[in-house]
Amino acid sequence: MKPAFKDYLLLHLIVLIWGGTAILGLLISLPALELVFYRTLIAAVGVAGLFLFRKKNLLLPFPEMIKVTGVGIVIALHWILFFWSARVSTASVCLAGMATTSLWTAFVEPLFNRSKIKWYEVGLGLTVISGLLVIFSFESGYWLGLSMALASSFLAAVFSVLNGKLTHRHNPYQITFYEMAGACMFAVLFMPIYSYFFTESGLNLTWIGYDWLWLLILGGVCTVYAFSVSVELMKRLSVFSINLTVNLEPVYGIVLAVLIFGESEKMTPEFYLGTGIILISVLSYPILNYINKRRKPVRPLG
């Protein structure tokens, strides 16, 4: 099926939704770990309900179930650091760090696939580092939040590469269920350690005000809905066009953060300069990757 204009609009809507997750993290009063627990619980129950409604098999062979659940642990750590970063800094700082995910992927993927690292990936990686140095030089008060965001973006690259392998063997919705279930179980098992070492007031699982609404949006819309639609769009849109659009997530997120939170999200001009350098590098990657593939000589048959 050929892509329609509405497919591209829907893709931008999905990216806009993903860009708003850091903002939802700030609207919800719960700390990062408790927030991730509820998000993954809602997402797992939502996908399970979807399978029951469609009367489809959700089970995987036990060895594969363990592998997919293990990836869920990586996702849980990614989300905990992501929301924690937004809490200790700002949504804009968090999203600036997350803008490096596709470049982390450029280095992580060759390690998993045992392929060569491309020269332009190294150049773009160095450019991203220069953008981060600009931010660190003028926004040193946010070094902890930015460091957490960078660690979170690295974990995002790891689980995206692992998911790329899993999707060749299993239904994407099955993968989502077991990953969300694994992330939820990890959050529960990590709670005693978190409560003892990382917080003085103990766990906080109580909803306040509209927390229930933001959590439903985060778990239902940002996780279950956005994922299912993105999988559906992959049937009609090229991987190149999808990757290029997803790279705009930090841009949408930073704009939303400034519009919603106003003065508290406004940073120095140097911050936006550094973020701009990062975003230019990120947006350049799929273009250079596409050009590099086009330049490869075609091997003759026989």
- Given a cut of 50, whether residue 301 has pLDDT beyond it is no
pLDDT of residue 3: 58
pLDDT of residue 182: 95
Q: Kindly report whether the global pTM for this prediction surpasses the value 0.85.
A: no
Q: What is the DSSP letter of 296?
A: S
Q: What is the DSSP string of 152-173?
A: HHHHHHHHHHHHHHHTTTS-HH
pLDDT classification of 23: cutoffs 50, 70, 90: confident
pLDDT of residue 302: 42
Decide which of 197 and 134 is more confident: 197
pLDDT of residue 29: 92
pLDDT of residue 300: 45
Considering the chain, what percentage of its residues have pLDDT values greater than 70?
A: 85
- Given a cut of 80, whether residue 147 has pLDDT beyond it is yes
Residues with Cβ within 8 Å of residue 240, at least 6 apart in sequence: 286, 289, 290
pLDDT of residue 263: 66
Q: How many alpha carbons lie under 13 Å from residue 227 in its C-beta half-sphere? A: 22
- List of E strands, 22-172: none
Domain ranges of the chain: 5-205+212-293
Structure tokens at 226: 């956005």
Average pLDDT over residues 225-249: 68
Task: Count other C-beta atoms under 10 Å from residue 188's C-beta.
Answer: 13
For residue 89, what is the enclosing H or E element? none
Considering the chain, what percentage of its residues have pLDDT values greater than 90?
A: 26
Decide which of 97 and 122 is more confident: 97
pLDDT of residue 255: 78
